[in-house]
Structure 1
């Protein structure tokens, strides 16, 4: 850390968190991508520079555990103070090319939840919308034919705002209807990327490097929007595929989108439990404690852009 006063401040915050170590809480951080550089279409994602200093802080001031170790120690009340698990959702290629070298530099483990249907050249539906709008030359995206209206895409700011609105409008539609809408939007663009997600070989190498591979369904559906038989198939087929790929048990699962009672329900948690998972994570904002449901563990996104705010947020959540 370059600045002595900032370093002393961060040490003070870490000391505060140590003082409430008896709370035995477990941070579970959510990441999706680690970009080469900031991207106006993905302002919520970290880039290499930010991820590097975040991992530096975690390695210096926190006790980073594997998800399996963290859950076991949470349940038997043996967590160290400031216990943290690092997780990534979806299976983006930059998890391997950008995140992995930084994790290895600081000797940290992370769990990567993989939506197996997008490996080897696939593209998630929301990324199709993002990249289609990014590439648009027209100033208006006309989705009146879909009943969604028209959207200003005349500059970077309006493109970002329009993408957010479109994604929110169609996110919870029935799976097939959403697919048709995305295909329509893709048709107005060209040169959509085919290398956003990891290859099967990269997933194998992640596992071989000591990282943890977790399940995230095959096609990343909103589980509450599909019938239970399809939901079980998404969970089970994803698990089978990943286990064959890495030749070991896949023990942990992340619910797509992950909001309890909105994106998944209790019966989906039962499906995950019955199919051999030891635990699962949601996107319910918070920090896990001993009373947390092991199949619906809360997580949060470390979106702060500067170190002192990042540390303050961690301390506030831990002390809450």
Structure 2
């Protein structure tokens, strides 16, 4: 493991020349999921944290942002983040983070707390649980998709999610409802965190940030609606935790496709201190604190994982 650490030190030496690698996750499953074999499970996350703790100086994101701004990052600075607010973030991810004496930031879409379910999970669980051999979605213009095998279900999920994701919000809701009703599957209502679990994250040394109410594509909303989504999520979480919230994550998070310059200005105007995107790269001196880049190495081999961390440190995007 020495070579990646030496390379990472050269690329991210700290101080004014420091670079901040922000990793993004969504879920940590208890065991591998046949439908999503690349999704992180508990054993895999434990291994990733071992590598990160050895190679990187992992900071809480709020501290990392302050030190980035001040030019006082340590060498090989990194932060860990989670988006959306899945219950397994509390039940599986947090204990593993605590085991390794690490912190992470969790960005919560408040509309799904206490029994809600994200639209993509409705699609996933409909495909997982249906007894039908095929599913279609007329609302999204998607013809019947075969579901006879696990491979076919994976392919169908890719087609359905990609075909529905960027529809206008009303049409997207109609498409999701159509798939759920057609599938006749029993859908879970415990995928997302409860309000109590969000408080437990904060009390357990984690950082909580806002992620809108309903996880819309901000670039597809009228500005007033976008403002309501961002502001309401901030206010709900501040009331829940009894403290000011400083961090925000753009849903989906790609510049121009998912959010635009006006949304960066909106987040600033609402009193956030920083915001994260999903534009790949590492943040350095002069980086726009309201478009911080994030990425996740997907390699299962330690050496390749480390080299991809190094490769990302060389990557820049507008604002970084």
Fold conserved (TM > 0.5)?
Answer: yes
* Alignment partners' CA distance in 1, 2:126 and 2:132: 11
* Alignment partners' CA distance in 1, 2:257 and 2:20: 24
Aligned match of 1:234: 229
Shift of residue 143, structure 1, vs aligned partner: 2.4
Shift of residue 144, structure 1, vs aligned partner: 3.8
Aligned match of 1:281: 276
Deviates more, 1:179-188 or 1:147-156: 147-156
* Alignment partners' CA distance in 1, 2:250 and 2:7: 33
1:262-307 deviation digits (Å, cap 9, x = unpaired): 1110101111110010000000011111132110111002322222
Aligned match of 1:224: 219
Please give the residue correspondences for 1:3-42 in structure 2 after superposition, counting only pairs within 5 Å.
Answer: 10-22=1-13, 23-42=17-36
1:105-138 deviation digits (Å, cap 9, x = unpaired): 1110100000000011100000000000011222
Structure 1 runs not aligned, ≥5 long: 1-9
Q: TM-score of the superposition, structure 2-length normalised?
A: 0.94
Which of 201, 226, 242 is the matching residue for 1:247?
242
Which of 58, 67, 82 is the matching residue for 2:61?
67
| Number of matched pairs | 311
1:32-79 deviation digits (Å, cap 9, x = unpaired): 000111112223320001100111111222101111211121122211
Residue 296 to residue 146, structure 1, CA distance change in 2 (3 Å): closer
Q: Is the 8 A contact 1:115 1:219 kept in 2?
A: yes
Shift of residue 319, structure 1, vs aligned partner: 4.6
Aligned match of 2:71: 77
Aligned match of 1:202: 197
Aligned match of 2:254: 259
Please give the residue correspondences for 1:1-320 in structure 2 after superposition, counting only pairs within 5 Å.
Answer: 10-22=1-13, 23-144=17-138, 146-188=140-182, 189-319=184-314
Q: TM-score of the superposition, structure 1-length normalised?
A: 0.94
Shift of residue 248, structure 1, vs aligned partner: 0.8
* Alignment partners' CA distance in 1, 2:136 and 2:12: 54
Shift of residue 20, structure 1, vs aligned partner: 3.1
Q: Is the 8 A contact 2:136 2:179 kept in 1?
A: no
Structure 2 runs not aligned, ≥5 long: 316-320
Residue 20 to residue 145, structure 1, CA distance change in 2 (3 Å): closer
Residue 298 to residue 21, structure 1, CA distance change in 2 (3 Å): closer
Moved >6 Å (runs of 4+): none
* Alignment partners' CA distance in 2, 1:145 and 1:105: 46
* Alignment partners' CA distance in 2, 1:181 and 1:144: 8
* Alignment partners' CA distance in 1, 2:139 and 2:248: 37
Report the RMSD for the aligned CA atoms in angstroms: 1.3
Q: Is the 8 A contact 1:53 1:307 kept in 2?
A: no
* Alignment partners' CA distance in 2, 1:117 and 1:203: 13
* Alignment partners' CA distance in 2, 1:21 and 1:284: 19
* Alignment partners' CA distance in 2, 1:52 and 1:279: 28
Q: Is the 8 A contact 1:16 1:315 kept in 2?
A: yes
